[in-house]
Amino acid sequence: MPVYEYTALDKAGKSKTGIIDADSAVAARHKLRGTGIFPVEVKETAARPKDQPSGQVTVSTLFKRIRPGEISVVTRQLSTLLGAGITLVSALEALITQVANPLLKKIMAQIKESVNEGNSLAFSLSQHPKVFSQIYINMVRAGEASGSLDLVLDRLAEYSEHQQALRGRVKAALAYPVFMFFIGTLVLLFLVTVVVPQITKVFSDMHQTLPLPTLILINVSDFLKSFWWLLLASLVVAIILLKQFRKSPRGSYIWDEIKIRVPVFGSISLRLAIARFGRTLGNLLDSGVPLLTAMEIVRNIVNNVLISDVIDKAMDEIQAGKSLAAPLSRSTWFPPMAIQMISVGEQSGELEKMLNKIADIYEREAESQITVMTSMLEPVMILVMALVVGFMLISILLPIFEMNQLIK
């Protein structure tokens, strides 16, 4: 449904602005008059051109995105307003005027209208699954049921901010090695395809027998110069085939197994998956979401098929009356320390706290391993580049030394 921004006059003649959703501008005016205010101007927010069909993707709509940070800010503000005793509809109305992102503003207006019509906030959020995750919706539902919506929203904001901070630290640790890899690759390609042919052309014109390293260098240079497009096309095709392979059930299973079995990277991937499991399940349980519902949500966001299968089996045994730690202990993917902490949490009645501690521990371990890995990658990359450049220098200098010997 379109969303309209309006300027109107109330019964006292004071000007007021706001946002409202309606089927058309005329319907929006009727809706405003029904609330006792008189519209002066009504215009559609982020309106598309009249000649653009509905649903058509344009450059402007392609880059309109709602960042996780924007959702965190809105969640934090809504929690503060509700905690101050402001009604939900009034709090949503206040938030709409502060949101800068047009797409998010439109969605918030639709949520406000849905709540105003008598729907719950969780139901209204569920109408926008691409913006609000299942974790978000279920925690809000639990907050509404327990009457502690402001506390749950505050916890949601903390959870979202924590996940963003973790992703930020991981990206920051990997940024420099990735940058060095691409720059080094470009420099080597430039040397091999541009500089080397200019130098080796002298040797080719002399029609003399060249050393093996020089022949290898010349052939590699000629191949890259002539068939670089073939390598690029092969890389693109390989990426597409890999993505298609990962979408299949068998391919997804194999890829996820490789992710947690490969040396160094596998250990980091497994620790991040365990941390995500603990953090998400702990927050859901702490917000009042039932264990089985929480497990189902975690199963869908853990981002690893093998761990999702373990969670599936655990859900079956929990339904049969067993504890959470028992089925997880039979898995090869959950570390013994995590199992012990879950078992202690179940026995002491503090499972939520233990799950969050598990997340803290494995997040720190993953970050530590990433730091060590990146500190090792830098000298390794420099060494590889030095070896390649050294090989190129030797390949160029060997014929020159041979020519000097002939002259003597």
CA distances from 182 to 177, 178, 228 (A): 9, 6, 16
Residue 345 is predicted with a pLDDT of: 92
Least Cα distance to 279 among 358, 392, 175 occurs for: 358
**What angle is formed at CA 151 by the lines to CA 148 and CA 156, rounded to 5 degrees?**
120
pLDDT tens digit at each of 408 positions of the chain: 566 777 776 767 677 776 676 777 777 777 777 777 777 677 776 544 333 443 343 444 444 678 888 888 899 999 898 888 888 888 888 888 888 888 888 888 889 888 888 888 989 998 898 888 888 888 888 888 878 888 888 888 888 888 888 888 888 888 888 888 888 888 888 888 888 888 777 776 666 677 888 888 888 888 888 888 898 999 999 999 998 888 888 888 898 888 888 888 888 889 988 988 998 898 888 888 888 888 888 887 777 888 889 999 999 999 888 888 988 988 888 999 999 999 999 999 899 999 999 999 998 998 888 888 888 888 888 898 889 889 888 888 888 777 766 555
CA angle 270-68-255, nearest 5°?
A: 30
Q: Which fold has domain 200-408?
A: Receptor-associated Protein (1.20.81)
Note the pLDDT of residue 147: 80
Among 2.60.40, 3.40.50, 3.10.20, 1.10.260, name the CATH number for the domain at 3-49: 3.10.20
Task: Say whether pTM exceeds 0.85.
Answer: no
DSSP 154-218: HHHHHHHHHHHHHHHHHHHHHHHHHHHHHHHHHHHHHIIIIIHHHHHHHHHHTT-PPPHHHHHHH
Domain ranges of the chain: 3-49, 200-408
The per-residue pLDDT for 106 is 85
**Residue 288 pLDDT:** 84
Q: Which residues of 278-301 are buried (b: 16+ CB within 10 A; e: fewer)?
A: bbbbbbbbbbbbeeeebbbbbbee
Measure the CA–CA gap between 362 and 278, rounded to whole angstroms: 9
SS3 call for 3:
strand
Residue 174 has which token pair? 């990997």
- Residues with Cβ within 8 Å of 275's Cβ and at least 6 positions away in sequence, in order, are 166, 358, 359, 361, 362, 363, 366
Q: Give the span between the Cα atoms of 274 and 297, in whole angstroms.
A: 15
HSE-CB for 89 with a 13 A CA cutoff:
10
50, 71 in Cβ contact below 8 A? no
Position 58 scores a pLDDT of 43
**CA angle at residue 327 from 324 to 332, to 5 degrees?**
125
Q: How far apart are CA 131 and CA 67, in angstroms?
A: 9
Between CA 408 and CA 405 the distance in angstroms is 5
Annotate 323-380 with DSSP letters as a single string.
-SHHHHHT-SSS-HHHHHHHHHHHHHT-HHHHHHHHHHHHHHHHHHHHHHHHHHHHHH
